[in-house]
Amino acid sequence: MLLVILLVLISVIQGDCEQDFKLQQVLILSRHNVRTPLSKNLANFTPKSWPSWKEKKSGYLTAKGALLEGFMGEYFKQWLQNEGLLDDACPNENSFFVYANTAQRTMASAYAFVDKAFPNCDIKIHNSSVTTDPIFNPVIHNRSAIFRQEAIEEMQTLLKSLHLNNSYRDLEDILDYKQSEYCLLEGKCDFITDKNKIFVNVGLKPNLEGPLKISKSVIDSFIMENYEGFPLKEVAWGQLINTKQWDLVLELSKGYHSTIFNTTLIARDLARPLLKYMRDILVNKHHRTTLLMGHDANIYTVLKALDIMPYSLKNQYEMTPAGGKLVFQRWVDNISGQGYVKIDYVYQATEQMRQGKSLSLKNPPEFTPLKLGGCKYVNGLCPWDEFVQLLDNLMEA
């Protein structure tokens, strides 16, 4: 009898503590999926032959990238239906709104997502009428000389804080860099001693010239080769065979992206047009679900501008993997009516991508919860009003 009473009491206590939340709105900020390498100068940095891609244009979504993004579309449809935001019918724009950057890889990724999520539905992919969409374009807006000087100083400080010598040496060995055309003709043969030069100019993306930029370019190709499913002996010529080796060279790519995107002044300036657009959707437009298809630069700068706490992605080498998505969720307490925001990084694990594994509720992508540094969390959630105020403050900064 005593055991029965205890079980009843435990049940009542648990019932009182569990709050009934309903998902009301979702905004998905996505990076495009797998594409061909961006750099057209890879042959300059090694005497070795690079793998041949079926798609010859640089920076284009591949068939594998479209396949993987389609898997994401199928998964998110199931997830949104399971949470009650979608039903079996073709969604209208109040239910599912899509806006993509104008680049081929972002438009093609958006089409791959919706074609698999909503086959035989006429889903419009909205995009800018101008070639370079200012919402997604990660360029400097602030014209102040003081801003420029402070931004350069922040980038220099971050660059000096990086400890990359072991990574540089490893990459030089992988490339046989000292026998490269660039080394032999330009006389720049040592990643550790060659200088990085910072560029911060209005209307242009912040940038670096030097060994860190070269490293980023070649590592980008390694990463995409691996996602694309090239034979392992062709991915970095078979010299990246375990997680420790990948992590070492990926420090260079992370260092590059941190330097150009992850300083506070730069991130807030670059992300402001996109954050303004996101705020308008979340506060004024009230689409139940929105998909925004952009680039890693958009992910990096939004994360930094929002002061997202440090995170790591399980089973992934990258910090902003191809096809990865920041999923902003507005949850409402059915009892109090209080709104909250929850942010997850949803992405495919490296092996899911390499092997081309389909996704479903039973075989989901990875979820990593993210936390806003400037929010006072309640039961693991950020109050919606605080989140909106954070966005408003960024608009005024």
- Which positions are catalytic? 32, 296
CA-to-CA separations, 129 to 94, 107, 256, in angstroms, rounded: 22, 13, 31
- Residue 387: burial class (beta carbons within 10 Å; 0-12, 13-18, 19+): buried
Taking each helix axis from N to C end, the angle separating 264-279 and 384-396, rounded to the nearest 10 degrees, works out to: 120
Cα separation, 309 vs 368, in Å, equals 12
Per the CB < 8 A criterion, the answer to whether 148 and 192 are in contact is no
Q: Give backbone dihedrals phi and psi of 266, rounded to 5 degrees, phi first.
A: -65, -50
Per the CB < 8 A criterion, the answer to whether 104 and 60 are in contact is yes
Non-local CB neighbours of 16 within 8 Å, separated by 6+ positions: none
Strands 366-370 and 339-347, bridge-based pairing: antiparallel
Which residue has tokens 């969390």?
377
| Nearest by Cα to 255 from 143, 161, 366 | 161
What number of other Cβ atoms are within 10 A of residue 48's Cβ?
Answer: 14
| Nearest by Cα to 74 from 370, 323, 331 | 323
Tokens, residue 29: 């900020």
Give the type of residue at 262.
N
Give the type of residue at 245.
Q
> Residue 292's beta-bridge partner residues?
29, 99
Cα separation, 61 vs 32, in Å, equals 8
Which residue has tokens 């990096």?
300
Non-local CB neighbours of 52 within 8 Å, separated by 6+ positions: none
Q: Give backbone dihedrals phi and psi of 71, rounded to 5 degrees, phi first.
A: -60, -40
Give the type of residue at 173.
D
